[in-house]
Amino acid sequence: MKPAWDILKTLADQTRLRILNLLNQDELSVAELQEALGMAQSRISSQLAILRQNELVADRREGKKSFYSLSPRLPAHERSLLDAALNSVGDSQEIVEDQESLERVIAKRRRQAEEYFNLIAGRLGKNYCPGRSWEGIGHFLLYLVPEIRVADLGAGEGLISQLLARRAERVYCVDSSPRMVEVGTDLAKRNSLENLEYLLGDIEKVPLPDQSVHLALLSQALHHAIHPERAIQEAARILKPGGRLVVLDLKEHSFEKARELYADHWLGFAENQLHRWLKEAGLENVEVTSVSKEDEEPQFETLLASGIRP
């Protein structure tokens, strides 16, 4: 513990006390302190070095910038001395002017952020944004998944299900490929996902009982079905009352090579076609929306359809 004399000596400097008063309100960069105090950078930096040496302030680096704040680990007696010192000069002209300057600095910081987002408004989802990825967003949204039973129909290896199983009560992956079921089962074991079960079966004849799941997924599986309307009817059959079917698939296109390249049976679907099939399966609150379109040829467009079993 440092002697109180040392703390009092550090506080007995007008510039250091003015800096501490500003940092008591917000974390600030050296440039922001310079602007708020109207002082040269060298003067501010030398005083910050003394404050840091006496462990009254903490700093962090962000790129080429240094940001300063009051030390989060100030002992109670040092905090009391600091508060007393700040209160004693709170009505001085310098502190009042510093406060007004700080408000301008913070307002400027907000304006810079607002100007950036105003500039890109309407283009935010179309341009590159550091740290933003659909993978990251997907992991983020998974924390909103309640403990429900899910059927991933035409799941393949079950990438979506591997993620959902970390939050859901139970997830069933249904696929017609024995090899896919084998690989997925092995992945579930390796990841210790005991609530994830792989089932060999056809999405047009799902090996699950009536009203057994809260959520049924058909993610890029419907265009592989011989009779996609039957797959939708089967998905509706296994839903509990209030359960939801979600379909993610391609919008109708003319890229014939997809049949050879991806084993597609259908070249996507029209929006009204999906809407009709969900309604005919007895689902309510049916919605069909285009959610993405690729920039490169053949510019596949993706539809998101959903409905609720009454």
Strands 301-308 and 284-293: antiparallel
252 membership: H or E segment, kind and range: none
Helices 93-120, 30-37: axis angle to 10 degrees equals 130
The DSSP H or E segment spanning 67 is: strand 65-70
Rounded distance, CA 298 to CA 87, Å? 69
End-to-end CA distance of the chain: 68
The per-residue pLDDT for range 42-51, each reduced to its tens digit, is 999 999 999 9
Q: Which residues contact 36 (CB under 8 A, 6 or more apart)?
A: 22, 28, 98, 101, 102, 104, 105
* Burial grade of 26 (CB within 10 A; 0-12, 13-18, 19 or more): middle
Taking the CA atoms of 151, 154, 157 and 163 in sequence, report the sign of the dihedral they define: negative
- With helix as H, strand as E and coil as C, how does 77-114 read? HHHHHHHHHHHHCCCCHHHHHHHHHHHHHHHHHHHHHH
Q: Which domains does the chain have, with CATH numbers?
A: 4-120 (1.10.10.10), 134-308 (3.40.50.150)
Supply the pTM of this predicted model: 0.62
Residue-wise pLDDT for 71-96, tens only, equals 988 888 889 988 999 999 989 999 99
- Mean pLDDT, rounded, for 190-211: 94
Tens of pLDDT along 103-124? 998 888 888 767 755 665 555 5
With contact defined as beta carbons under 8 Å apart, do 195 and 170 qualify?
Answer: yes
For residue range 212-252, list pLDDT tens digits in order. Answer: 999 999 999 999 998 999 999 999 999 999 999 999 999 99
Confidence (pLDDT) at 271: 95
Strands (E) located in 122-195? 149-153, 170-175
